[in-house]
Amino acid sequence: MAFTQIYINLPVADLEASKAFYLALGGTLNPQFTDETSAQVVLGETIAVQLMTHEQFANFTKREIASGPVEAINALAAESKEDVNRLVEAAVAAGGTEPRPAQDMGWLYSRAVDDLDGHSWELMSYDPSAMPADPE
């Protein structure tokens, strides 16, 4: 079995501010799945983030909505180090925070950003052909 798309569902406190944040990352709004309680932001050909108010998100789970601790870090690959820098700068300008400095391993460059609700994202560019050989 092969999956063809990924939809990341996120509870958000301020839907309008969260839409602005994800649009700043270069996403586009899908009006077919957007209303006053939810918004779908398409981040790539096969990647979409569904932002939901806490009330709407609660319709899909009986579990408590987490706030504070990190449960997952979502990662997005960009085409270049410059693209990573541009995207992180746009995310921070839209209200996100950068929780740690950039990491540059030569073959892999990454920066982290948290959205307005603390959802963690790793933005990276990498060249697998330049990855160091296994030390063993």
**What are the sequence ranges of the domains in the chain?**
6-60+70-130
Cα–Cα distances (Å) from 117 to 1, 12, 19, 55, in that order, read 33, 6, 12, 15
CATH fold for domain 6-60+70-130: 2,3-Dihydroxybiphenyl 1,2-Dioxygenase; domain 1 (3.10.180)
Q: At what angle do helices 81-93 and 15-24 cross, to 10 degrees?
A: 160
Residue 135: the pLDDT is 52
Specify whether the CB–CB gap between 65 and 54 falls below 8 A: yes
Q: Given this model, what pLDDT does residue 23 score?
A: 96
Whether the per-residue pLDDT at 98 is higher than 90: the answer is yes
Please tell me the predicted confidence (pLDDT) of residue 47.
Answer: 95
Q: Is the pLDDT of residue 136 over 70?
A: no
pLDDT tens string 35-81: 999 999 999 999 999 999 999 999 999 998 888 778 889 999 999 99
Q: What is the pLDDT of residue 59?
A: 96
Q: For residue 67, what pLDDT is reported?
A: 80
Query: pTM for the complete prediction?
Result: 0.88
